[in-house]
Amino acid sequence: MPQRPIGMRTGVLTLLAVTAVGTSLLVPTVSRATIMERVSLAELTHQASAIVIGRVESSGVRLAVRGQGLEPQTVSRLSVSQWLLGGPAPSVSIREIGGVSDQIAMRIEGTPSYRPGEEVLVFLCRDAEHVNDFRTCGMAQGKFTIVRGLPGVPSVAWRDLSELGFARWDERGMSVDAASPSAPVQLEAVLDVVRQTLAGATP
């Protein structure tokens, strides 16, 4: 089953609402961490419905009706250069909760963002409500930004995990480890783990 956040520390959600009669501002104290389980590359591979390398073509906010209000959702489109799992299709659409529009803005810490022009390796799970869209598996854990090296220099991939806290359990109960800075790793090393997992081998 796809991993979901265990919880959010006080202030993870920042909400700004603009009404027709004025501006209402609600900003809780932000600790900037969503708490969830750490997911290995092999686990991400097993969870994913699709794994792709692609370049971000566009990213924009759409509003969805939620109860009596609106929920911003950011939809990003990737032009796919390589399918490791799933497909084939020339592009994929990734939908994440949160975003900024003229009416409302919302941010959930640990949600990956996609910038036009960025090349990425992403682990994607099907969106339960939007059958043509995906979401990023494991939140920010499922998105690698690719930096291509000069000729003869290996390409690298890195993740921004700074907005995540990782839960672990021992005899005293649950504790939370802050995510350490994510050092770049060679892209081929990441892809080797993915390919071995898909082939049924132990990475």
User: Which pLDDT tens digit goes with each residue over 17-51?
Assistant: 332 333 233 333 334 679 999 999 999 999 999 99
DSSP state of 46: H
CB burial readout 9-22, b (16+ within 10 A) else e: eeebbbbbeeeeee
pLDDT of residue 32: 61
What's the half-sphere exposure (Cβ side, CA atoms, 13 Å) at 27? Answer: 7
Q: In what order do the strands lie in the sheet with 173-178?
A: 7-8, 34-37, 164-170, 173-178
Rounded Cα distance, 2 and 177, in Å: 21
| Predicted local distance difference test score (pLDDT) of residue 199 | 95
CB 91 within 8 A of CB 75: no
- pLDDT attached to residue 194: 98
pLDDT score recorded for residue 42 = 97
Task: Give the pLDDT of residue 82.
Answer: 97
- According to the model, what pLDDT value does residue 143 have? 98
Q: What is the pLDDT of residue 24?
A: 30
Nearest to 50 by CA among 76, 89, 77: 89
HEC string of 8-23 equals ECCCCEEEEEEECCEE
Reading the chain (203 residues) residue by residue, the pLDDT tens digits are: 445 565 444 333 434 333 233 323 333 333 467 999 999 999 999 999 999 999 999 999 999 888 888 899 999 999 999 999 998 999 999 999 999 888 788 989 999 999 999 999 999 999 888 888 999 999 999 999 999 988 899 999 999 999 999 998 888 889 898 877 788 999 999 999 999 999 997 76
Residues 98 and 74: beta-carbon distance below 8 Å: yes
Q: Are 163 and 129 in contact (CB under 8 A)?
A: no
CB-based burial of residue 24 (10 Å sphere; 0-12 exposed, 13-18 middle, 19+ buried)? Answer: exposed
| Whole-number Å distance between alpha carbons of 202 and 46 | 12
3-state helix, strand, coil in the chain (%, to 5): 10, 50, 40
Task: Check if the beta carbon of residue 73 is closer than 8 Å to that of residue 110.
Answer: no
Measured distance CA(38)–CA(167) in Å, rounded: 7
